[in-house]
Chain A
C-alpha cells in the first residue's frame, strides 16, 4: 500500500496560538485512518491544512501526490471534506446541491447526474431528491454533506465527526458508506470522538493533541497497554483453589477473581489458554465459557490522551 498523505514537521500558528505543532504523519492508500483527540486539539485545523483550505506556517505536506502550498488547486480536486457543519444550500433541492458541486469539480453534466443518483441512492435520499434541503432532518443533511464530499470520487475523503448527532439508523448508513468507500480502495481520514466507531472502522488510529502522540492499529494499542486478557466463567463460582491452580500455569502473567469468573492475563493466549482450561478441569472446576476480554479503545484513549 502506497502512501497517499505525508506531512513533515507541519506547523500552524494563529498569532500566539499554536494549533498544530511538528506534525509528522503518513497515511496509506486505501486505509481508514482515525484521527482522535480532545476538543481543541487542532483536529479541524489539521483537516483544513490537509485540504489546502488554509496555509501552513511551516513544514511540508504531500496530499494525493500534490505538494501543499504549490499545488493547492489539485489537492482540492483530489480530496473531499465533510466539514463540522453540513453547510448545504437549504433553499435548493438535494439534487441541485450535488449537481452544483459536481460541476465545480469539473464533472460533465452526464457524469454529474450519474454520480448524484449513485450517492443519493447510497444515502437513501433518492426519493427526496427534489425536496429543498431545508426540510431535511439533521441526519439527512449530514448524509447529504457526505455525498457531496464524495461526489467526485476523491482519492482521500476527510470526515470531521461524521456521525455526531445522528440517530442509530443514520449512523449505521454512514458507517456502511465508510466501509464501502474503503472497499473501493479510497482512503478515509476520520476525525471522531466516537471511540467505538473508530475501533470498528479504522485500520490505524492516531491520538493527537497539537501533534501526533501515538499511531497504531486499535488491536495493538489495546494489547500493548492492557495485554491479552481472557475471562473463564466457572459454575457456580470459582473457588480460591481454582485461582491458585491458574496462577501456577506456565505463561500466566496475572489472574484474579471477578464476578464469578477468573480473568487471566498472558502474553500468548493461544498457547496458554488451553493449558488453563486443562488445569481448571483437572481441579474439578465447571468451565461454562471462555471469552476474550478486550480493553475498550476508550480506556486506551483516556490513558494516552487524557493521562498526559
Chain B
C-alpha cells in the first residue's frame, strides 16, 4: 500500500506555511489594523507636521530653542531648519515601526496555534521545526518591512513636494535610505525572532506580550542610537552594524529553534 506523500521541496513548505499565516492574519482585523494603523498615523502626522512647518513660520522663541538644541543648524534659515529637524524625527519613528508592530503577530503565530490546538496536526506532517519557525518569522517580518518601505516612500514623496530643501536633504540622506533599506529588515527580523522565541516558551498571549515588550527595548535602543548619530553610520560602521544585527538575527533564530521542543509543547500545553 503506497502513500501519496512525497518529500516536499523545503522552499515550498516555507512558502505554503507563510501564505497560510498571511491568510490567517488577513482574516484577523485586529492584526491587520495593528500592522497598518501605526504606519498610517505616523505617516499622516509626519506629512502634516512638515506641511505645517512650511506654512507657519517658527516664532523667535522656537528658533532660539532649536539653535540651542541643535547647534549644527545655526546659520540655516529657521524655517528650513525646523522642517529638516521635524522630517528627521519622523524618520526615527519609521525605524521603530517594524521593531514593534510585527511583535504581536510573531508572538501570536505560535501561541495562537497552541491555543487553537492546530500545532499538533501541523507537527504531525513532515515539516521541520526550522522550516516552521522560518516561515513564521518571514510571515511576520515581510508585511512589516513592506508597510514601512511603502510609508517611507510616500513620506519621501510628500516631503519632496511640501518641504524645504533642508527637509528634503534630511529624508534623502544616503544614511537614511540605507538604514530604511538594510537596517529595517534586520531590526524587524530581530524583533520577530525574539517574539517567536518568547512564544515557544510561554503559553499565555498576555505574558508573552509583556515579556516581548521588555525584550524588544534593546532592539528599539539600537534603532534610536543609530538614527540619533550615537552609532555613526559611515560606511565602515554601517557594514559593522548590519553584520552585528545579522548575527543577532541568526543567533536568536537558532535559539528559538532549540527552545521549540515538540514534546514540551504537545505534552505540557493544556
Out of B3, B13, B27, B28, name the residue touching A78 (CB < 8 Å): B3
Are B124 and A55 within 8 A (Cβ)? no
Among B16, B126, B263, chain A packs the most CB atoms within 10 A around the CB of: B126
Q: Does A219 contact B (CB under 8 A)?
A: no
Q: Does A139 contact B (CB under 8 A)?
A: no
Interfacial chain B residues near A54, Cβ < 8 Å: 262-263, 266-267
Q: Does B6 contact A (CB under 8 A)?
A: yes
Q: Which residue of B lies closest to A79 (CB)?
A: B124
Q: Does B210 contact A (CB under 8 A)?
A: no
Are A104 and B4 within 8 A (Cβ)? no
Are A155 and B3 within 8 A (Cβ)? yes
Are B4 and A107 within 8 A (Cβ)? yes
- Docked Cα-Cα span, A297 to B128, in Å, equals 41
- Docked Cα-Cα span, A155 to B28, in Å, equals 37
Which candidate, B100-108, B113-121, B233-241, is the interface stretch facing chain A? B113-121
Q: Which residue of B lies closest to A186 (CB)?
A: B1
Interfacial chain B residues near A55, Cβ < 8 Å: 263
Name the interface size band of chain A: 35 or more
Interfacial chain B residues near A154, Cβ < 8 Å: 3, 5
Which candidate, A95-103, A197-205, A268-276, is the interface stretch facing chain B? A95-103
Out of B2, B17, B24, B117, name the residue touching A87 (CB < 8 Å): B117
Q: Does B23 contact A (CB under 8 A)?
A: yes
Interface residues of B in 8-25 (CB under 8 A from A): 8-9, 12-13, 16-17, 20, 23-24
Q: A106-B126, A111-B4, A115-B4 are in contact. Are A83 and B262 (CB under 8 A)?
A: no
Kindly supply a per-residue 1/0 record for chain A positions 276-307, scoring 1 wherever the CB is within 8 Å of any chain B CB and 0 otherwise: 00000000000000000000000000000000
Are A81 and B124 within 8 A (Cβ)? yes
Q: How far is the CB of B26 from chain A (nearest CB, A)?
A: 9
Out of A30, A105, A115, name the residue touching B8 (CB < 8 Å): A105
- Docked Cα-Cα span, A148 to B118, in Å, equals 12
Interfacial chain A residues near B27, Cβ < 8 Å: 91-92, 132
Q: How far is the CB of B16 from chain A (nearest CB, A)?
A: 4
Out of B4, B13, B117, name the residue touching A85 (CB < 8 Å): B117
Are A87 and B262 within 8 A (Cβ)? no
- Docked Cα-Cα span, A51 to B126, in Å, equals 11
Q: Does B146 contact A (CB under 8 A)?
A: no
Q: Does B182 contact A (CB under 8 A)?
A: no
Kindly supply a per-residue 1/0 record for chain B positions 28-49, scoring 1 wherever the CB is within 8 Å of any chain A CB and 0 otherwise: 1000000000000000000000
Are B121 and A145 within 8 A (Cβ)? yes
Interfacial chain B residues near A29, Cβ < 8 Å: 1
Interfacial chain B residues near A87, Cβ < 8 Å: 116-121
- Docked Cα-Cα span, A155 to B2, in Å, equals 7
Are A153 and B266 within 8 A (Cβ)? no
- Docked Cα-Cα span, A55 to B262, in Å, equals 9
Q: Which residue of A lies closest to B125 (CB)?
A: A104
Interfacial chain B residues near A153, Cβ < 8 Å: 2-5
Interface residues of A in 83-129 (CB under 8 A from B): 83, 85-92, 96, 100-101, 103-107, 111, 115
Q: How far is the CB of A292 from chain B (nearest CB, A)?
A: 35
Interface residues of A in 28-57 (CB under 8 A from B): 29-30, 45, 48, 51, 53-55
Q: Does A185 contact B (CB under 8 A)?
A: yes
Q: How far is the CB of A157 from chain B (nearest CB, A)?
A: 10
Q: Does A224 contact B (CB under 8 A)?
A: no
Listed A/B pairs (25) with beta-carbon separation below 8 Å: A14-B267, A48-B267, A54-B262, A54-B267, A73-B7, A76-B126, A79-B124, A80-B124, A83-B117, A83-B124, A88-B118, A89-B116, A92-B20, A92-B23, A92-B27, A100-B16, A101-B125, A103-B13, A105-B4, A106-B5, A152-B3, A153-B2, A153-B4, A155-B2, A185-B1
